[in-house]
Amino acid sequence: MPAVTAVLGDITTQAVDAVVSSANSAMRVSGGVNGAIHRRGGPTILRECVLRFPNGIALGEAGWTTAGDLPARVVIHTVGPNYSAGQRDPSLLAACYRRVLEVADEVDARSVAFPLLGAGRHGWPRADAIAVAIETLATARPRVAEVRLVASDDAVYRQIRASLLLRLPPLVGADTVGALFEREPTQYSLRGDAYLWRELRARFADTPLPGDWFELRTLVTDAIEEVVGERFDNRESASWHDPAAVVYVPEFDPGHGMSAGAVHVPWWVHTGVPILLDRYEGRTGSDATVRDRRGKPMSSNSEW
């Protein structure tokens, strides 16, 4: 499986072996990413499209051309399903990703930059487009070593990244803070808590374990407060069923289901963070009692 990352930026500036264009079946210039690639790459791309594919290409298929003036070596053009026109079978969208990777192998491309196929002018709901992309890439076994999912919009980038962390979490180093997150709790409070757990795991993947539990707690709570946008103190005394205890984080919203994007701060205060502190104590052999920020002994409600 290739290493899959989310990238915030312009797909036409990606220095990769192959950049992917969402083409039309006639293989002519259109709007969106396709138009941007043709504008930046120059007229040689269109000329080669006409020469190599005089009859166009079919839905779900892909073919390659020169990349012209782009920093990539080739452009791989794929024709995705138009959701707005009723082409709503996810397998058609998944076929585009698989076929692009097959073509990438044919031209010995080791790195490939994709836009979020279908989510632009073809009208696919963003959450569905992200889910299809990540699941297809997660189960692919090409020779391609690196895949970038490129988004020019910050909100789209954040949602892709959060979904990637949930499905394809990065490796963590030994004796790092990230290693404390490797084994997940048996139950989260809300759906957003699972996304936040993976976000923190990625943030601390290479962060060495600190010298004491208080430093660890400060490190983790500061990161949580940064993500949710406010201090623990503002909600830690709220009851479990108080709606005011929930913070909505847009990038943790997969677009469907109850509690989508919802992070439950009391769960982190009374369960999530104490779990991590218990694990820290077990790894370091510390006999210190785990305490809250006011020095009060805490119980983690641990699941093991």
Provide the percentage of residues in the chain whose pLDDT is more than 90. Answer: 81
Per-residue confidence at 295, pLDDT binned at 50, 70, 90?
A: very low
Per-residue confidence at 286, pLDDT binned at 50, 70, 90?
A: low
Provide the percentage of residues in the chain whose pLDDT is more than 70. Answer: 91
Per-residue confidence at 245, pLDDT binned at 50, 70, 90?
A: confident
Better pLDDT: 63 or 286: 63
What integer pLDDT is reported at residue 268 of this predicted model?
93
Residue 291 CB neighbour total at 10 angstroms = 15
* pLDDT tens-digit series, residues 104-133: 999 999 999 999 999 988 999 999 999 999
What integer pLDDT is reported at residue 35 of this predicted model?
95
What integer pLDDT is reported at residue 219 of this predicted model?
97
Give the whole-angstrom CA distance, residue 20 versus residue 36.
11
pTM of structure: 0.85
What integer pLDDT is reported at residue 259 of this predicted model?
80
> Is the pLDDT assigned to residue 290 strictly greater than 60?
no
What integer pLDDT is reported at residue 302 of this predicted model?
42
> Is the pLDDT assigned to residue 239 strictly greater than 90?
no
* pLDDT tens-digit series, residues 56-76: 999 999 999 999 999 999 999
167-178 b/e (C-beta count within 10 Å ≥ 16 → b): ebbeebeeebbb
The amino acid present at 236, given as its one-letter code, is E
What integer pLDDT is reported at residue 303 of this predicted model?
40
Mean pLDDT across 183-200: 94
Give the whole-angstrom CA distance, residue 268 versus residue 283.
21
* pLDDT tens-digit series, residues 201-215: 999 999 999 999 999
What integer pLDDT is reported at residue 238 of this predicted model?
74
Asked if 299 and 225 touch (Cβ cutoff 8 Å), the reply is no
Name the pairing type of β-strands 62-66 and 74-79. antiparallel
Better pLDDT: 236 or 2: 2
> Is the pLDDT assigned to residue 99 strictly greater than 50?
yes
Cβ neighbours of residue 131 closer than 8 Å, sequence gap 6 or more = 163, 254
Asked if 80 and 92 touch (Cβ cutoff 8 Å), the reply is yes
Mean pLDDT taken over the chain: 91
> Is the pLDDT assigned to residue 161 strictly greater than 90?
yes
Q: Which domains does the chain have, with CATH numbers?
A: 3-167 (3.40.220.10), 178-284 (no CATH)
What integer pLDDT is reported at residue 275 of this predicted model?
96
Better pLDDT: 254 or 178: 178
CA 174 to chain centre: 23
Q: Which is nearest to 83 in space by CA: 112, 123, 54, 32?
A: 123
Per-residue confidence at 240, pLDDT binned at 50, 70, 90?
A: low
- Residue found by looking up tokens 């930046």 in the block: 40
